[in-house]
Structure 1
Amino acid sequence: MSIQFRVLGPLTAELDGEPVDLGGRRPRMVLASLIAAQGRVLSTERLVEQVWSDGPPPTTATLFSYVAALRRALEPNRAARTPARLLVREGTGYAIRVPPETIDAERFTALVTAGDRQLDRGDPTGALESLNEGLALWRGQAYGDFVDAPFTVSEVARLESLRAVAREQRLAAMLAVGEHSTAIGELEALVIDHPLRERGWELLAVALYRAGRQGDALAVLRQARERLAADLGSDPGPGLLRVQAAILNQDESLDQPVGDGPAPARQVRVALPASRNVSVAHSSFVGRTAELATLSDLLARHRLVTVTGPGGIGKTRLVLELCRGREDADGPWVVELAGLREPTLVARTVAETVGIPGNPGADELAAVLAEREMVLVLDNAEHLLTAVAGLARTLLGRCPGLRLLVTTRQPLAVAGEAVLDVAPLPPDDAVELLVQRIAAVLPGAGPADVDRPTAAQVCRDLDGLPLAIELAAAQSRALSLREIAFQLDDRFTLLDTGHGDDHRHATLENTIGWSYHLLTEPEQRLFRQLSVFDGGFDLDAVRLVGGGLPVSQVVPSLLGLVRKSLVAADAGTTPRRYRMLESVRLYAAALLRDDELHDARARHRSWLLGLVETGEQRLPTPDGDTWLARLGLERDNIRAALASALAVGDPLCAARICGALAWFWYRTGQIAEGLRWGRRTLAALDGRRPAADAVPDGWTLARARLLMTIGGVSYLAGEHAAAIRALRTSADLCERVGARDAHTTAVIYLASVTAISGDIASALPLADQAVRLAEVVNRPWALAEALTVRAQLSRACTDLPRARAELARANELARSCGHRWAVISSDWVDSKVSVDLGMPGRARNTLTTLLLESDPATDRSSWLATAHSLAGALGRTGRAGDGAVLLGAVAALGTPIGYFPERMDPFDSPGDAAAVRAALDDGAFDAGFARGRQLGWPELIELIVSLAGPDNRWTGPAGVTGPVAR
């Protein structure tokens, strides 16, 4: 089987010479994203961001279904359940695994490289063949059907730039074989298409000169000079100047065939030392394989690469590791700038490092390096940015063989700059670094002697920051690893080399302080105040919490902190989220004065309270899932705000926060979290209870809503009696103060939990009351929930027609107001009614659709409950083996979040499990259950997707197919 992908034009694929139907725009974009990644793994989050950048993100199942459809199209003969060979899953994402020659963009790159080498070796005829073959692969603009998609921008730019190079090299080859007259027309077209590329002007001038048109050649050079001055404000580069001088002098070399363009007499070279100054590594280099490859690729495609990141992240070590593997003709050379304080001495420092005598400035340095083939590293440039940027512009403009690598804590902002932001070490690499460094400090202690769970905790607490990990390892001479872990609350005292010097890397505190002292005063103030955030934050949060700054300075100050690597921006989020490394946050917090800390925390609580109360109102609306995810991002800030409120003696604020989180904690199954904070807050609130004759309604309502929260999570914990007591008290308090909406919600909860506890007689009047209250307050979402509870009771009373009618009305109301959870809940109960009526196939289709249309990331407990019910339907429709796998997966994935089927669904979950067991012998059931326990969330979702075929049609036993119910 032969596969070919073409992206030099609209995306197409061919299998054994026949076109492949790749589906609609979205699945084609998934494939294009993976091809553009050039073999790199794209996480599912990154894929969704790239493919759905122009609209709301889909459910994870939608992406998986597109991948499954592409796999069927590209590997039509692959047996079911066998691993894919082309679109493969690796880690948390996907990659395309095909030989480079199967992608036309890669073939083109290889042919251009071959043609360039052939031209260098003096084989212009072979170069012409390679370059003609490569250019013939183009059918239009690269990625022509996705040219506006963000994920294609850099790849399209790379390919179009390489295409221009190929055209130039092809025309250089034509000049080399004497076809200058033929080449003139194409060169004229080339400089029109790419007027700022000097190479085309050089070749055109040489071709005109060889054709006996010296005046036209000089006119072309004059036109090039004028165009560069008008568009770029720059003078011609050395190549154009050499060609002009050669034409004016009628240099004989212009009449000779040339391989790589005109080559007049070269400038006299200033002798440089033959050796390089890249030091030998003192210790092993751990991890960073992907970053090394990325940095190498960036340096191959860009002449200025800036490596950024916070202090201690390993920028210098990464760059040095790359340099140690390079064999440039005149380098690499590493220029250390950390100790330099005078910006005017940057050029002289470079000259001294590479061995250029005298006291050259930037222009003289550029003249000497003009024809060097070298990588020049400017290390630790953050305090000399303006001077380094100016030198970079001069050198890059006049030294075509020079490549600059700069390490700094913020980019230079120079045209053509590529930036690599170095991230903390991944957990496994961080642990390996700590283990290796401890082994080096304690001779005789091997890697097996290190307590790896404790090592992992230390590395997490240190944010995977290499410097911090190295400093922690150094303390293992005196402290055990567990003692080091306990001492990290005072990490700035612990993480010290003990040498007593002021070097910026001597202590972790010095490293962060070096960056802090480079900030402006507004940046320093905002930096300190951002320390009250725990976890991430967005721009709105910064505006509300960053006090003491004029509104106009908040955003510029935040952007300055991001540029200077003291705040990290998560590029995969919309709106953008930011965070501080924990060590950086602790450093900032230590700088806060008492009054500044008090005010910042008060603003943080106010922001968080407003956020969760807004979220509570939005959860039963069409953007409910978005708000579930939004609140999920703030878990750490929620904890910080609750702890802060209780610490300053404001339990009313804590109660309002907990009350607003009732639905969020319930839907996301945060049992331990809800119980811990709910009970602590209730105790604090009751401890400050006002006098009996002076209890304000606001205090009573806050306590009622707090009890509603405790009741909901108590039910999830299986504490039904405690849940009923809390919810009954909540309902009574809400009624007492006339809070009708809260009263309605409390009665709905109370009716549901009472029914689940088995007290049908008591639950029936409560459910009827809930329906009446919901109708009075005129909240469709509340009425949908109340009717679903009432339908469950109708089913318990075996009145199935009434149950189905109530569910139909509930579903209609839920869909009309966009209350996604109520849609799922009513459909879920309807699937149970279908089983009661002897229609398990209908139940199976309903449940499959619910899972495909839902995102487990936003409501995992409901998703698992639906999957467990689907297992029962599979057991009743001839697919018990898949049902056993689902039961195993639900058991394994439910336990960590506190979900247990028999607690949430005590009436039906035992019967669903029994239906699967009854259809299998013990060995088959145990094997399927064990296989399910090995599945993670992505694999479980893929299993659900695989159970429904193309267009969501159920793939049941032989001869049993049908559309999944909508």
Structure 2
Amino acid sequence: MQVQFRVLGPLTAEVDGREVDLGGRRQRAVLASLLAARGSTVSAERLMSQVWSDSEPPSMATLFGYVATLRRALEPGRVARAPARLLVREGPGYALRVPAEAVDAERFTRLVTDAGRYLERGDGGTTLRLLDEGLALWRGQAYGDFVDAPFAVSKVARLDALHAVARELRLAAMLAVGDHATAIGELEALVIEHPLRERGWELLAVALYRAGRQGEALTVLRDARDRLAAELGADPGPALLRVQQAILHQDGSLDPPTVSAPAAAEPAAPSLPPSRNLPAALSSFVGRRTELARLTGLLAEHRLVTVIGPGGVGKTRLALEAARTRTDPDGPWLVELAGLRDGTLVARAVADALGLPVPPGLAELAAILGGRHTLVVLDNAEHLLGSVAEVVAALVAAGPGVRVLVTSRQPLGIPGEAMLELASLPPEDAVALLAARMAVILPGSPLTEADRPVAGQLCRELDGLPLAIELAAAQCRALSLREIAEQLDDRFALLDSGRPDGYRHATLEQTIEWSHHLLTPPEQWLFRQLSVFDGGFDLDAAKQVGTGPEAPRVLPVLLGLVRKSLVAVDPGTNPRRYRMLESIRHYAVGLLPEADRAAARGRHQAWLLGLVETAEQWLLTADGAHWMQRLRRERDNISAALEAALEAGNALGAARICGALAWFWFRTGQITEGTRWGRAAEAALLDRIADAGAEQGELLLARARLLLAVGGVTYLTGDHAAAVAVFRTSAQLCERVGARDTHATAATYLASMTMMSGDVPGALTLADQAVALAEAIDQPGIRAEALTVRGQISRVCGDLDRAHRELTEANRLARACGHWWAVLSSGWAGSKVSVDQGRPEQAVATLCALAVETDPGIDRASWLALVHSLAGALARTGRAGDGAVLLGTVAALGATIGYFPERMDPFDAPGNTRAVREALGEPAYRAGLAEGARLGWAELVTLLRRRADTWCDGVGVAVGPTAR
């Protein structure tokens, strides 16, 4: 199937040569916005704001409907529910995955770029053919349907400018093949349309001169000068002045060509050879299309652009690709600085690269380049920043036609500098690069589908770093892909090109070492300390771990590491998060002496412990979503701290960390992680307790709190008997050391699990004990939890009135003290009592209110439990169809986090499912499940908020989002 999109005029699309119906204006705007993004993901929220920029956006469901309709139009043969291949869902939004050649604007851009290259080579005939093909693609104004839409404004401006460039190139090619007579009329029209573009005036003057109309040519140049002065207050540029001088002197360079040759409107100065020195590419350019377009745009707008990024990220290759697309008549030129050690020789290196016979000084070099239209590429400037900045400032100031493109691991820091920070390759491009390089080394052995998971993991381990990927691919002659991935623990030995010449990119280790040598002593100190972080860190964490005599003020040193591309910044984070690429971190770890490493790890554990114990205090409140997200971000650091603590024999520290993570593990369903670390920490702690003698109090309390965490994840596995044993041990330890708060909590959970295991009488006794303990310490949050469990057991025992009173009081206490999990738990249990009392409509109102006012990010499992119960309550109020949709969504989303209703709620979940199924019948029930399974988290939230008032109509309970 072939799909073609046209945006150079009204938006159209063809599938296999037949135009398809793209729907109304808003739906077409969704497609246009994705086309304008050129393959990048556009979030659903951003799509909404772009498409409905002139009005109040509708519900998100409208966007989903448009996307579904567009998918049917663009992929008419796609099987129902099969993954989309063109308009795909990615993360929080959508992307259009089509080859560049499938979009007329991209084909036009390529044709104009190729035409410029052929014109530089003197091939006017091929230039004309390419430009005629490109200009024929235009059917009207680019993005004509949406010219004022926010997503199109910059695209329209770029394409319009490129259209003018194409026309200028075409007319220059006509002059190059001697067709100046025909070109005059078109050039006169061009300068009327674009009076401020000097190139048109220049070409028109040359064409008139060649036609024997010298006086008119000079008049045209005078008109150009007057127009520029009146409109811009500017004098003519060097090119127009040179043409004027050449006409006045009847310079032979303006004579019509006798054979096809490059346009000669700008004769080369004798002191500057007219050729370029860019090396030919030795391999295909993979990925980076978005970055290449951005760099091309920056070079069009700015005269100094610096590409920054860590070593091996592909700065040089991207800069050369961008330079090859340029049509500067006097360039571009590549100046390689990596081998230069003396900053005073930078100007001479530029002169040598330009082929100047006598190396001039900086002032003379600037004077020579001042009248030229050229691009100078200075590659690898980071070790000579001061000298390079001085030379660049002089070159840029020399004349408006000079542009400089710099690659460096940090910016030059001079006025007028535009920057493009190059990040790692995205996963798709990284795998594509690996496959392309392996195909060169082992022709005929393509990357198979079976290889792709291993390839993806390998590229992730290599941080998507192009150099590392290429060095890994180079080993495929001797090792299989899986073997390469398995050797990454010794990555610096593996990622060696084998070159014996000391080339700084011969190994990954040399590349990083080059950057490390450029650091100041404080930067080298902090660089080593930060290696103990795994998965990133913020400024506060860096201060706690990295402060020392060598770096008493962390912030300026950290900013230095960021500037030098050894620490990356995660954009959009607040507070800002920083990270080291994994290979850079491996290098930094290797620089830490054992004693320093132990000290840094100790500070890391202390920071992490403080963080998780602070988070523990807030997780159960309405601010829990923020702290839940914070802990999710630190999961790698949690694992690193626990591993280091256990390795160093710090059993107490490991146990305290695990104990503080009880709610995080439970509410995010971290069964494997919680069980693994909890059991390991307990084993280490038991050894420590055995050796502690009489000084066991702190250790026993730490074990009791640790067992609360272990018990929570054990419950999530559905093994209620095992959870009972764990919570009983925790309660006994608390009683032994007199820890009343923790004892009340452990007793509450023990009572709950005992009920879950089927021992209701035993649970009733335990619940009464838990309530008594909670009342004795007068902690409203703990009392709310204990009363919630007591109310659940009263319900199981059939005492619904008492259950209602206990759960109502629990809910009041929980709301008063901000214990939001207890609000959810007591409200959820209370809704079940309402169903038992024959008031399912009240249960619907209660559950809707809780679901709507609660952020599912706080506790997704508990939130899904609310929705599952809501489905059952809806079935009992005559809305079983909606209930089936909710059941389907809960099943699909629950599977992604390890939540299974019948396992977590064995008393009531089966009854909810049965109520829906029996009310609908099997076919309708299955259809509802299938419909719900297609909803994601955001869609489910939207559905609940949209339907809640309807479901609760007549109950007398207002439902809607709160400030929470």
TM-score, structure 1 as length reference:
0.76
Matched residues in 2 for 1:933 and 1:369: separation? 65
Q: Which moved more, 1:788-797 or 1:480-489?
A: 788-797
How far is 1:830 from its partner?
Answer: 3.2
* Match of residue 146 from structure 2: 102
Residue 409 of structure 2 contacts residue 564 of structure 2 at CA under 8 Å; is this kept in 1? yes
* C-alpha distance after superposition, 1:706-750 (max 9, x if no partner): 111111111111121121111122122212222222122212222
Q: Which moved more, 1:452-461 or 1:799-808?
A: 799-808
Q: Which moved more, 1:363-372 or 1:547-556?
A: 547-556
How far is 1:513 from its partner?
Answer: 0.7
Q: Structure 1 residues 466 and 763 mapped into 2: Cα distance closer, same or farther (>3 Å)?
A: same
Amino acid at match of 2:528: R
3-state secondary structure, aligned to 1:406: strand
Q: Structure 1 residues 867 and 298 mapped into 2: Cα distance closer, same or farther (>3 Å)?
A: farther
Q: How many positions carry a matched residue from both structures?
A: 817
Q: Structure 1 residues 111 and 311 mapped into 2: Cα distance closer, same or farther (>3 Å)?
A: closer
| Alignment map for 1:409-558 (pairs within 5 Å) | 409-448=409-448, 451-549=451-549, 552-558=552-558
| Alignment map for 1:40-439 (pairs within 5 Å) | 70-71=57-58, 90-94=89-93, 99=143, 102-104=146-148, 106=152, 109=157, 113=161, 121-122=187-188, 126-127=192-193, 200-202=232-234, 269-270=269-270, 272-439=272-439
Residue 628 of structure 2 contacts residue 857 of structure 2 at CA under 8 Å; is this kept in 1? no
How far is 1:494 from its partner?
Answer: 1.0
Amino acid at match of 1:519: L
How far is 1:550 from its partner?
Answer: 5.2
List runs of 5+ in structure 1 lacking aligned partners.
1-18, 21-30, 52-62, 132-172, 188-198, 207-236, 247-264
3-state secondary structure, aligned to 2:487: helix
How far is 1:584 from its partner?
Answer: 0.9
Q: Structure 1 residues 296 and 923 mapped into 2: Cα distance closer, same or farther (>3 Å)?
A: farther
Residue 547 of structure 1 contacts residue 600 of structure 1 at CA under 8 Å; is this kept in 2? no
Q: Are 1:949 and 2:936 matched, yes or no?
A: no
Q: Are 1:817 and 2:817 matched, yes or no?
A: yes
| Alignment map for 1:609-624 (pairs within 5 Å) | 609-624=609-624
Q: Structure 1 residues 780 and 431 mapped into 2: Cα distance closer, same or farther (>3 Å)?
A: same
Q: Structure 1 residues 874 and 886 mapped into 2: Cα distance closer, same or farther (>3 Å)?
A: same
* Match of residue 790 from structure 2: 790
Correspondence for 1:964 among 939, 959, 962: 959
Residue 528 of structure 1 contacts residue 589 of structure 1 at CA under 8 Å; is this kept in 2? yes
* C-alpha distance after superposition, 1:681-711 (max 9, x if no partner): 1112112324685143111111111111111
* Match of residue 181 from structure 2: none
Residue 844 of structure 2 contacts residue 951 of structure 2 at CA under 8 Å; is this kept in 1? no
Matched residues in 2 for 1:718 and 1:448: separation? 39
Matched residues in 2 for 1:314 and 1:46: separation? 32
Q: Are 1:665 and 2:660 matched, yes or no?
A: no
Q: Structure 1 residues 417 and 842 mapped into 2: Cα distance closer, same or farther (>3 Å)?
A: farther
Amino acid at match of 2:234: E
* Match of residue 137 from structure 1: none
* Match of residue 774 from structure 1: 774
Q: Structure 1 residues 946 and 930 mapped into 2: Cα distance closer, same or farther (>3 Å)?
A: closer
Matched residues in 2 for 1:80 and 1:425: separation? 28
Residue 744 of structure 1 contacts residue 773 of structure 1 at CA under 8 Å; is this kept in 2? yes
Residue 662 of structure 1 contacts residue 712 of structure 1 at CA under 8 Å; is this kept in 2? yes
* Match of residue 717 from structure 1: 717
Residue 41 of structure 1 contacts residue 90 of structure 1 at CA under 8 Å; is this kept in 2? no
Residue 43 of structure 1 contacts residue 92 of structure 1 at CA under 8 Å; is this kept in 2? no
Residue 834 of structure 1 contacts residue 843 of structure 1 at CA under 8 Å; is this kept in 2? yes
Matched residues in 1 for 2:327 and 2:955: separation? 65
* C-alpha distance after superposition, 1:145-183 (max 9, x if no partner): xxxxxxxxxxxxxxxxxxxxxxxxxxxx99959999xx9
Matched residues in 2 for 1:395 and 1:845: separation? 72
Amino acid at match of 1:630: R
Residue 309 of structure 1 contacts residue 421 of structure 1 at CA under 8 Å; is this kept in 2? yes
Matched residues in 1 for 2:500 and 2:226: separation? 71
Residue 659 of structure 1 contacts residue 708 of structure 1 at CA under 8 Å; is this kept in 2? yes
Matched residues in 1 for 2:316 and 2:67: separation? 49
How far is 1:578 from its partner?
Answer: 1.0
How far is 1:493 from its partner?
Answer: 0.7
3-state secondary structure, aligned to 2:279: coil
3-state secondary structure, aligned to 2:910: helix
Amino acid at match of 2:895: T
Matched residues in 2 for 1:427 and 1:528: separation? 28
Residue 202 of structure 1 contacts residue 239 of structure 1 at CA under 8 Å; is this kept in 2? no
Residue 954 of structure 1 contacts residue 964 of structure 1 at CA under 8 Å; is this kept in 2? no
| Alignment map for 1:724-873 (pairs within 5 Å) | 724-873=724-873
3-state secondary structure, aligned to 2:376: strand
Matched residues in 2 for 1:80 and 1:281: separation? 40
TM-score, structure 2 as length reference:
0.76
Residue 791 of structure 1 contacts residue 803 of structure 1 at CA under 8 Å; is this kept in 2? yes
| Alignment map for 1:666-685 (pairs within 5 Å) | 666-685=666-685
3-state secondary structure, aligned to 2:578: strand
Q: Which moved more, 1:318-327 or 1:35-44?
A: 35-44
Matched residues in 2 for 1:270 and 1:428: separation? 48
3-state secondary structure, aligned to 1:504: coil
Q: Structure 1 residues 450 and 666 mapped into 2: Cα distance closer, same or farther (>3 Å)?
A: closer
3-state secondary structure, aligned to 2:378: strand
Amino acid at match of 1:656: R
Q: Are 1:897 and 2:929 matched, yes or no?
A: no
Residue 741 of structure 1 contacts residue 777 of structure 1 at CA under 8 Å; is this kept in 2? yes
How far is 1:325 from its partner?
Answer: 3.0
Amino acid at match of 2:57: L
Q: Structure 1 residues 287 and 856 mapped into 2: Cα distance closer, same or farther (>3 Å)?
A: farther
Q: Which moved more, 1:539-548 or 1:518-527?
A: 539-548
Residue 771 of structure 2 contacts residue 786 of structure 2 at CA under 8 Å; is this kept in 1? yes
Q: CA RMSD in A?
A: 4.4
How far is 1:896 from its partner?
Answer: 4.3
How far is 1:676 from its partner?
Answer: 0.9
How far is 1:90 from its partner?
Answer: 4.5
Q: Which moved more, 1:100-109 or 1:503-512?
A: 100-109
Matched residues in 2 for 1:940 and 1:76: separation? 16
* C-alpha distance after superposition, 1:98-155 (max 9, x if no partner): 9465243656847984998799955599448999xxxxxxxxxxxxxxxxxxxxxxxx
Matched residues in 2 for 1:811 and 1:768: separation? 18
Residue 615 of structure 1 contacts residue 627 of structure 1 at CA under 8 Å; is this kept in 2? yes
Q: Structure 1 residues 536 and 70 mapped into 2: Cα distance closer, same or farther (>3 Å)?
A: same
Residue 889 of structure 2 contacts residue 940 of structure 2 at CA under 8 Å; is this kept in 1? no
Amino acid at match of 1:636: D
How far is 1:482 from its partner?
Answer: 1.7
Q: Which moved more, 1:544-553 or 1:749-758?
A: 544-553
Matched residues in 1 for 2:189 and 2:54: separation? 45
Structure showing greater relative contact order (alpha-carbon pairs closer than 8 Å, 6 or more residues apart): 1
Residue 948 of structure 1 contacts residue 955 of structure 1 at CA under 8 Å; is this kept in 2? no
Amino acid at match of 1:560: G
Q: Structure 1 residues 843 and 560 mapped into 2: Cα distance closer, same or farther (>3 Å)?
A: same
Q: Percent identity?
A: 55
Amino acid at match of 2:632: G
Residue 40 of structure 1 contacts residue 95 of structure 1 at CA under 8 Å; is this kept in 2? no
How far is 1:595 from its partner?
Answer: 1.0
Amino acid at match of 2:631: L
Amino acid at match of 1:337: L
How far is 1:284 from its partner?
Answer: 1.9
3-state secondary structure, aligned to 1:367: helix
